[in-house]
Structure 1
Amino acid sequence: MKSSVLFSVLFSIFIITNSSAQEEEDKAFEKYNISITTGIGYGKVENENQPNYDLNANIGELLFTYNLKENLGIATGVGYLQLSGNGFNTNGNFYHERDLIKIPLLLRANKNFGDKFNIYALIGFYGQTIVNEEFRYLNSLEKDVFGGWSFGLQSSFTFEYEISEDWSMGINIATQSDFNKLDTKNDASFEDEQAITTLNTIGLLFKFRF
């Protein structure tokens, strides 16, 4: 959660600085763009009753952005997260795999440096739900242990280079943290509440303008 707060503060500074530097005269700019981001990283699992553990993360996100003006826009889309890692609970040691679908709603701001190089930031909220989950123990396999929707705060910074007028690529650094905890289902072999916090990733971005 500390990383999300830090990103939020940096985003606020970015917005203020960018607004003060913006020219009074409006310029022509693209109204829409589509971006694809990929990333790898890690996240911390915080449990109510069981020991905490870390998970490796692979993430992909497709965002559709509507630009309100040259340096400010709103974005939404869909993300897919794959989490995996080792831990232990009252049943013993396990290997945990989880896939989630995420729907974000974000505010975007950007700053241009010359003709080719841009820095932009996004911050906002998301909802996500588990679509597949497995706990692999030494002699057993348990599926779909947790259920429901989790909601949280996500933010990112991207360093982007324009390859042409139609598309760009760059480096994306992102973080997210759940507000609420998911509960185990009634038929689960153990009872707990769980949240994924401090999920940090770094990866590539591809943006297409039209």
Structure 2
Amino acid sequence: MKHVGNNLRNKIYNKYESMKNEKNLLILIAIIFSFLSISAQEENKSKFSIIGNGGIGYGIVKNDSEPNYNLNTNSGELLINYNFSENFGIATGIGLNLLTGNGFNSLGEFYHERNYIKIPLLLSISGELNEKIEFFSSIGFYSQNIVGDNYHYLSSKIENNFEGWNFGGQIGLGILFNFKNKMKFGFAFNGQSDFSKFKSRNSSGIVDKQKMKNLNTLGIIFKFEL
């Protein structure tokens, strides 16, 4: 009887161990399939996207010698973004700033029009807040060139008073909502400030150096995944 009891216990134990091993194997298979599924989704997700934004705002023209003044801006930017990881990427492209406003200097009161073309190089940071909302932010540097510069005085007009290239730093933050497959729209804030200064031409009538400070805009943003 004792021998029969031992055999029964051994059979039950072996059966239990076999079921336990099968259960562990099923769990391991499920984990492997889950990992492969996630990896496939990440591989299928494009690393490239096109990001555009536009907005309105204002900034401060800071002069070395003449009085400072404010300019309103209408700005736009078109970027190509490459994600080198899940949340981080590199973006570059082209931007345009159209500036207008009133001021005065030693020659009198004027209405100022200035246009910039900007080339940014940015570190981008993005992530999903939930299934329908995503954030996108960027920080980096830019170089920009004056492509139009007109000072309208009461009885005269001075063109291309300042010229050349300068560089500065910028930051952006946007909230995006799912619109269609691979397409998202939302709202954005962008800010930039020049590090270096533009110099006036010797024949312009004003000898000075200036840069834009705290050029901030609010507007819209879109993202299209390639």
Question: 1:161: how far off?
Answer: 0.5
- Structure with greater helix percent: 2
- Structure with greater strand percent: 1
Decide which of 180, 191, 194 is 1:178's aligned counterpart: 194
In structure 1, what residue type is equivalent to 2:152?
Answer: R
Decide which of 159, 178, 184 is 1:168's aligned counterpart: 184
Write the distance in 1 (CA, Å) between the matches of 2:71 and 2:46: 38
Alignment of 1:102-113 (within 5 A): 102-113=118-129
**Cα-to-partner distance string for 1:74-93 (whole Å, 9 max, x where unaligned):** 00000010001000001000
Question: 1:147: how far off?
Answer: 1.1
Write the distance in 1 (CA, Å) between the matches of 2:205 and 2:214: 27
- For normalisation by structure 1, the TM-score amounts to 0.86
2:103 equivalent in structure 1? 87
In structure 2, what residue type is equivalent to 1:84?
Answer: T
Write the distance in 1 (CA, Å) between the matches of 2:137 and 2:53: 13
1:138 equivalent in structure 2? 154
- For normalisation by structure 2, the TM-score amounts to 0.80
Question: 1:32: how far off?
Answer: 0.5
Decide which of 6, 27, 49 is 2:65's aligned counterpart: 49
Which secondary structure state, in structure 1, belongs to the residue aligned with residue 155 of structure 2? coil
Write the distance in 1 (CA, Å) between the matches of 2:184 and 2:136: 13
2:215 equivalent in structure 1? 199
Structure 1 unaligned spans of 5+: 1-24
Write the distance in 2 (CA, Å) between the matches of 1:140 and 1:158: 42
Structure 2 unaligned spans of 5+: 1-37
Which protein has greater RCO, CA pairs closer than 8 Å, 6+ apart? 1
In structure 2, what residue type is equivalent to 1:81?
Answer: N
Question: 1:203: how far off?
Answer: 0.4
Give the paired residue count: 186
1:115 aligns with 2:118: no
Question: 1:111: how far off?
Answer: 2.1
Structure 1 moving runs of 4+ over 4 Å: none
Which secondary structure state, in structure 2, belongs to the residue aligned with residue 190 of structure 1? coil
Write the distance in 1 (CA, Å) between the matches of 2:220 and 2:165: 27
Write the distance in 1 (CA, Å) between the matches of 2:166 and 2:154: 29
